[in-house]
Structure 1
Amino acid sequence: MIHYYVSFHNPLTFYLQVQLQLAVPAEATEPLELQLPAWRPGRYELQNFGQKIQRVEAFDADSDAALPLQKLTKDRWQIDGAAGRTVRVQYNFYAHQMDAGGSWLDETQLYLNGIQCFMYAEGRRSEPCQLHLALPKGWQIACGMQEVEKHVLAAASFDQLVDSPLIASPTLQHAEYEAGGLPFHVWVQGSEARPNWPVIVRDFKAFSEEQLRLFGGFPAPDYHFLNQILPYKHYHGVEHLNSTVVTLGPAELLMTEALYKEFLGVSCHELFHVWNIKAIRPAEMQPYDYTRENYFRTCFVAEGITTYYGEYLLARAQVRSARQYFDELNTVLRKHYDDHGRYNLSVADASMDLWLDGYKPGVPDRKVSVYHKGALVALLLDLHIRQRHNHQRSLDDVMRRLWQEFGQTGIGYTEEDYRRIVEDVAGEDLSWYFDGHIYGTQELETPLDEALRTVGCALMVQASGSASEGLFGFRTVVKNERTEVTDIYPDSPAARSLTVDDQIVAVNGRRVDMNLQTLLSTGQPVYDISVFRQDRLLTVSLQAEPGRRFWDKITVDKRPDATPAEQAGFRQWLNQAF
C-alpha cells in the first residue's frame, strides 16, 4: 500500500503540504525514482505541473534521517539508499487554479486534482493507494473514490487516485438520483448557488437514462457530478473515471435559461465521456504515459462524437426542445465556418496537433477544431447510416460496438478498428467519408445539407449583416476606442489591402468612431481606408467584388416543404415532433 497525505497550514498562501510514503524492498538494486505527471487526461497538451511544486525533500520515515535526493528532469527525482527503508517524500504544492482541471485551496474549501500534485514511484503505478486528508472539523468530501475511514480515500492504483478529483468543504450541497439501477450524485460547491434540485434531478436523470439505454451498461458502480458554481462568469468541464468536475458561473444565474442550458450541456457531454475516452480508449493511451505527449489521431471520435451526443441526447431525452438543440448546433456551425483552417488541416491531423496548439487560437487559417468539425462529421455519419437503414441502424450502433469490443475489454482501439466498425454498421465502403472528411479537407456543406434533408431539415445560408464582413471580408474589434482588424477572409478585398492589427482611423476622410459599418455601407465603388500600421499612417483602397459574399451565416432549420417520410425521419432521429 502506498500512502499519500495532504494537509494545509495557512490556506491564504494556497500552499498544500503533500507527503508520499512507501516501503522499498530490501532487495531493490536500483535507486527509487519518482515521477510527477506532465499532463492530465482530458486535455491533450503538456502542462508541466512541476512548476507548482516547492521544496522537495526525502526522509527515512522511521528515523527521520534525510535521504540523498537528486532532481533528474523537470519533474523526476531520484532517491539513493532507499532499499529496505520506508521512504517519506514531502513537498509543497501551489493550489491556485480554479478551473475544471485545476486545484484550489482557500479558507472555504479544498479542491484537488491529484494528477497535478501526486508523484508515483517508477514501476509501482498499479499498487493500491490511500489518500489521507487532514481537514477541519465539519468538512465533508465529494469524490468518486471510496471513503474507507474518516477523511481517508482508497484507490486501486495510482491511475484511479489521480483520476478521482475531490472537493472538501463544510458547505457542499448534494442531491442523489438513480438511473439504470445505479446511484448518481450531484454535488454543488459555492455559497452563492441556489440550485433548484427538483428540476436538476429530473433533467439529469433523463439524460443519464438516455445514455444508459444507448450503451446498455456503465463502466462504474456509481457517478459523481462535482460542480464548482462560481460567483463570476466561467465555463469548463473535465471527465474522469466515475466523476466529472464542472466549473460554471456566475452562480446567481445558475437556474436562468442561458446558464442552465450550459450546465446541462457540459454535464451531459462529460457523462458521455465515461464511455467515450475513459472506457473506450485509443490504443495509444493504453496505458497513459504521463511523462510526454500521447499522440493519437482519433480525437474526432473521443471529442467530436462526444460533442455531438452531448447536445443531441438532451433533445432525444426531451430535456431540450428541437429549437434549443438547433440553437446549440448552429453555434457549432458558426464556430466551424468562422475558421478557414478547415481548408488546410484534416480533423485527423488536428487530433495530433492538440499537443501543439489545440487549446489556443494559433496563427490564422491553420487548423480545424476536433470538437466542432468532429461534431459535424459525427452528425453527418449518424444521418447517413440512418437514411441507409431506415433508422434501424445509427451512430448508436457504432458506439455500442466500440463499448462492447473495447470499453468492456479494456483493449485500446485503433483508427482501423473504428473504420471497420463504422463500415460494418453502415454496410458499405465509406471511402468518400473517411478520405474526404476525416483524412481530407473536402467541404461539408453539400453532404451535410443532403443528410439533413432526409430528416426534413436543411442548411440555411444568410448573408452577414456587417458590411466589413459580408462585402469586404474583415472583422474588427474596438479596444480602448481604437478600431482594430482581427480577422481577414482569405482572398477577399480586405486580404489585398489590410492586415491583422491594422487600426482603422478613417473611411473616405471620415473619422471612424463606432460608425465603421455605416461608413462602409454608402454603396460607393471604392473606399479609401486610413489605417495606422506599425504606428505609420497609410491609406489603402477597398473595393467590393460584385457577386461575392464573405462570412455567410450557416444554420440548420426545418424545411416547410418536408415530406411526411422526412418528418417521420425527424421524429425517429430526434425523438420529438416535427
Structure 2
Amino acid sequence: MHYSISVPDPQSRLLHIIYTITRIETDYIEVQLPAWRPGRYEIQNFAKNIQFIEAVSATGRKCDLYKVTKDRWRVGTEGENEIQIRYTYYANVRNAGTSYVDEELWYLNFINFCMYTESRISEAYTIDLDLPENYTIACGLSLKGKNRLFAKDFYELVDSPLLASQSLQKCEYQVENVRFMVWMHGNIRPDWKRIEHDFRRFSAEQIATMGEFPETEYHFLNLILPTAFYHGVEHHNSTMIVLGPDDEGEGMYTDLLGVSSHELFHAWNIIRIRPKELLPYDFTKENYFRTCFVAEGCTTYYGDLFLKRAGVFDEEAYLMELEVYMKRHFENSANATQSLADSSFDLWLDGYEKGIPDRKVSVYHKGALAALILDLYLRKISDHRQSIDNVIRLLWVRFGKPFIGYSLQDYKDIAEEVAAESLEWYWNDCIFTSEPLETRLNEALEFVGMHMSVSEDSLVQLHVSEDLHGKAQRDKWLSSVQVFESEE
C-alpha cells in the first residue's frame, strides 16, 4: 500500500492524495475511510472533507467507483491488478485531532484522510510527502529517505500525526534508554533549558512508577496558536498538543506541563492498557465501552500527580489543580443522573458536548476524583504499602504489555486483589450509580488532612489542615518513587 501526498496550492488548504493499491486479484475492491479517530470516541465523518475522488488504473483508465456507505467506496477493477484512488481533502482546522496546511506548515493526522482496503488493513504502508524545500519532519513513523515514511500497518499509520515546516524547533533528552523529543511550531521562543529539566523529571517519575516504557522513542508534537487553546491527543509513541495563546506566559507553561504529563501516561493507559472492546479498533462505527473512567479518569488524576511527585509542581500548585477537578465536577454536574460507567458508554452519543442539564458526568473530572478516592483508600488500609499504582501496574503486566485488552470485571478484580477485600461500596457509590460523591471524597481526603466544602451557591473550596498526622500522610501520598539527583 502506498500514499503520495502533495499540496500544490497551500492557500486552497487542499491535500492532493494518491492511494495506490497493488496485487489486486478480485473483480472489485472496497476502500474505507475512518469515521472516527482513537482518543476521541465520537463519530466524526471525515468523508465530509473529501472534495473530489476518482479511481484510475495503472494504464490511466478510469474505473467505476461508487459509494457503498457515507465513507466507503466500491471500485470496479475489471482485471486490473493495480488501482489508484485520487482525491482531495480539505485540511483547514487546527486542533489536536485534525489536519491543516498553509504556506508555512503541514500538520497531518493520517486518520482524517487515509483509507484502507477491506481485508488488507494489516499490510504495510509507505507515504511519500511532496514537501517544500528545507522542511523538517516531526513524526513517530520511521523515516525512509528524505520525505518517505513507513508504517507497519494501517493502525500504526493513523496513530502517528505529523508536523512539518521550516521553522520547527526541537529539544531532546533521554531517560534510561528512551529518547524523548519535544517539538514546537509557532511564534514562540521556548525556554528549552526549563522544558528539558521539567520534562525529564516527570518522564522519569512515570517510568519509575510503571517499571518500563513501551517505546524506544517518544515525540511531544506541539502546535502553538496565537489564540487561547488547550487540546491534546495520545498516540502510540507521540502526542499531538495544540496550545495558545503564544504569549509565553506562566499560565501557558503550566498548561504545557499538565497536558504533556497527561498524554505521556496514555502511552501505557489506553494505548496499550486498552479496553478489550477497542481491540482491534473498528473504524467504521462506534466501539462502545464502559471503562473510559479508567482510561481518562485515572490518566487525568495521574497527570498532575506525577508533576508533584517529580518536583515540577510544589504542593500548593498541585492542590490548586486538584481543586480545579473538584470545581468542574461539583459546580457543573454534582446532581447528574448518569453514573461514571454510563457516561463512559455515552461518550459516543454526546460525551464531548455540553448536553442537557444534570444528565452526564465528565469521565475526566469525576473519573479523576474516583481515582483519588480509590488511591487514598488503598493507602489508608495498607499504610501506603498499596495504592492505585499497584492497580495500574497489574493492568499493565497482565493486559497492557501482552496487549490483550481488559474488561470492566478485570479492573474490579485487580482493585479488590490489591485491597485484599471487597470494594462493593466503591463500585456502587463512585462508579455504577449517580450517588453524590461528596461524602466518599471527604472520607478519603480526611486521611491526608484535607476537606472539600460546597457552599449554598455550589462554590467549591479545598481546605488543607496543618495537623501533623494529616500532613505526614499527605507527604507520603505525594512523595516520589524516583530518586532524583540533587540540584544546585
Q: Which TM-score bucket, shorter chain as reference?
A: over 0.9
The separation in 1 between residues aligned to 2:443 and 2:28, in whole angstroms, is 63
The separation in 1 between residues aligned to 2:110 and 2:139, in whole angstroms, is 12
> Shift of residue 125 of structure 1?
0.7
* Residue in 2 that maps onto 1:133: 129
Q: Which has the larger radius of gyration?
A: 1
* Residue in 2 that maps onto 1:348: 341
Identity of aligned residues (%): 47
* Residue in 2 that maps onto 1:36: 33
Are 1:320 and 2:286 an aligned pair? no
| Aligned partner of 1:558 among 461, 464, 475 | 464
Alignment of 1:1-400 (within 5 A): 2-26=1-25, 28=26, 31-61=28-58, 63-81=59-77, 83-190=79-186, 192-253=187-248, 256-340=249-333, 342-400=335-393
Q: Is the 8 A contact 2:177 2:216 kept in 1?
A: no
The superposition leaves residues 468-496 of structure 1 with CA deviations (integer Å, 9 ceiling, x where unpaired) of xxxxxxxxxxxxxxxxxxxxxxxxxxxxx
> Shift of residue 436 of structure 1?
1.7
C-alpha distance 83-428 of structure 1, shift in aligned 2 (>3 A): farther
SS in 2 for 1:247: strand
C-alpha distance 456-83 of structure 1, shift in aligned 2 (>3 A): farther
Q: Is the 8 A contact 2:77 2:83 kept in 1?
A: no
Q: TM-score, normalised by structure 2?
A: 0.96
The separation in 1 between residues aligned to 2:462 and 2:372, in whole angstroms, is 12
The separation in 2 between residues aligned to 1:555 and 1:443, in whole angstroms, is 17
Are 1:567 and 2:471 an aligned pair? yes
> Shift of residue 141 of structure 1?
0.2
SS in 2 for 1:5: strand
The separation in 1 between residues aligned to 2:334 and 2:447, in whole angstroms, is 29
The superposition leaves residues 203-234 of structure 1 with CA deviations (integer Å, 9 ceiling, x where unpaired) of 00110011101111112221000000111111
> Shift of residue 375 of structure 1?
0.3
User: What letter is aligned with 2:460?
Assistant: I
User: What letter is aligned with 1:572?
Assistant: K
User: What letter is aligned with 2:124?
Assistant: P
Q: TM-score, normalised by structure 1?
A: 0.82
User: What letter is aligned with 2:457?
Assistant: F
User: What letter is aligned with 1:557?
Assistant: H
> Shift of residue 252 of structure 1?
2.2
C-alpha distance 178-82 of structure 1, shift in aligned 2 (>3 A): farther
Are 1:456 and 2:360 an aligned pair? no
Q: Is the 8 A contact 1:341 1:364 kept in 2?
A: no
The separation in 1 between residues aligned to 2:148 and 2:262, in whole angstroms, is 30
User: What letter is aligned with 1:558?
Assistant: V
The separation in 2 between residues aligned to 1:380 and 1:274, in whole angstroms, is 24
* Residue in 1 that maps onto 2:484: none
Q: Is the 8 A contact 1:315 1:321 kept in 2?
A: yes
User: What letter is aligned with 1:347?
Assistant: L
SS in 2 for 1:276: coil
Q: Is the 8 A contact 2:429 2:437 kept in 1?
A: no
> Shift of residue 368 of structure 1?
0.8
> Shift of residue 342 of structure 1?
4.0
User: What letter is aligned with 1:556?
Assistant: L
The superposition leaves residues 550-569 of structure 1 with CA deviations (integer Å, 9 ceiling, x where unpaired) of 31x22323213x233x3221
> Shift of residue 80 of structure 1?
1.2
The one of the two structures with greater contact order (alpha-carbon pairs below 8 A, sep at least 6) is 2
The superposition leaves residues 286-330 of structure 1 with CA deviations (integer Å, 9 ceiling, x where unpaired) of 000101111000000000000100111111111001111111111
Q: Is the 8 A contact 1:24 1:84 kept in 2?
A: no
The separation in 2 between residues aligned to 1:86 and 1:276, in whole angstroms, is 40
C-alpha distance 83-41 of structure 1, shift in aligned 2 (>3 A): farther
Q: Is the 8 A contact 1:24 1:82 kept in 2?
A: no
User: What letter is aligned with 1:129?
Assistant: Y
The separation in 2 between residues aligned to 1:140 and 1:159, in whole angstroms, is 24
* Residue in 1 that maps onto 2:483: none
> Shift of residue 460 of structure 1?
3.6
